[in-house]
Structure formats: C-alpha cells, structure tokens
C-alpha cells in the first residue's frame, strides 16, 4: 500500500458526460501527478500540482482539468467524455517537485465510457 488513495475504483459512464476522479496523496507529500494509461499506450503524464499550484502540463486535453485543494487532495475533471477516454487513470504523489523524488502511485481509477 503506497499511502495514495483514489476514488472511485471503477466508473462507467456514457459519452458526453462529465466525471470527477479524486486523489489523496501520501501524508506529507506536496506534489500530485495525474497519468493516463490507455490500452495501446504506456503511462502518459497529464498534469502536476505542487502545493496547490499547477507545476507542469503534459498532453492533457482541453476537456480535462484538474486542481489541488488546500488540504492537498486533487481532483481530475473529465468532461464531454468520448469512447477514447476509456482508460486507467493513476494519481501519484511525491514529497516535493524535483525530478529525483520517487513518485508513489495510487491504485488507479478505471474509467469506461460507453
């Protein structure tokens, strides 16, 4: 158990809908990252927050947004969902923002868009 929690574990929804994925980092970690794993691709970095502020952005679609709250939990909002958004979404956390800090991954949220 990494200490990172994600809810829900599974989510099934229809095209055009909007969903929110939630992540709580390990106690003491200030940085949160979101990743997407689709069937045909490896882990793709979406976005990073550090202590409430956006720090880095990957190939995150405009239909997706995220934020980190004062208690350091983070939410990833996915809207106007398409079939291709079906994937496993991971949240990870690290103690700080630097590149040499280990990232601890949560169990993931499996999103199925029908």
Partner 1 sequence: ILNVEQSPQSLHVQEGDSTNFTCSFPSSNFYALHWYRWETAKSPEALFVMTLNGDEKKKGRISATLNTKEGYSYLYIKGSQPEDSATYLCASNYGGATNKLIFGTGTLLAVQP
Q: Which two tokens stand for residue 15?
A: 């095209």
Q: Does 101 bind partner 1 (CB under 8 A)?
A: yes
The count of chain residues that interact with partner 1, using the rule CB under 8 A, is 27
User: Do the Cβ atoms of 26 and 11 come closer than 8 Å?
Assistant: no
Tally of residues, the chain: 114
Answer for which of 30, 60, 61, 97 binds partner 1 (CB under 8 A) is: 97
User: How many Å apart are CA 15 and CA 40, to the nearest integer?
Assistant: 20
The yes or no reply on residue 102 touching partner 1 (CB under 8 A) is yes
Distances (CA, A) of 103 to 15, 30, 34, 69, 90: 32, 11, 11, 19, 11
- Counting contacts by CB under 8 A, is residue 49 touching partner 1? no
Rounded to the nearest whole angstrom, what is the least distance from the CB of residue 74 to partner 1 in the complex? 14
> Please, which residue, 58 or 84, has the CB nearer to partner 1?
58
Q: Does the footprint of partner 1 cover residue 2 (CB under 8 A)?
A: yes
């Amino acid at each position: 158990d990494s200490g990172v929690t994600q809810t829900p574990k599974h989510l099934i929804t229809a095209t055009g809908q909007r969903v929110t994925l939630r992540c709580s980092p390990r106690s003491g970690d200030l940085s949160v990252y979101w990743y997407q794993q689709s069937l045909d691709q490896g882990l793709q970095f979406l976005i990073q927050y550090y202590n409430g502020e956006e720090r880095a952005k990957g190939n995150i679609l405009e239909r997706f947004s995220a934020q980190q709250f004062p208690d350091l939990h983070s939410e990833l909002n996915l809207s106007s969902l398409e079939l291709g958004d079906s994937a496993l979404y991971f949240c990870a956390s690290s103690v700080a923002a630097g590149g040499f800090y280990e990232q601890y991954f949560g169990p993931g949220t499996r999103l199925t868009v029908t």
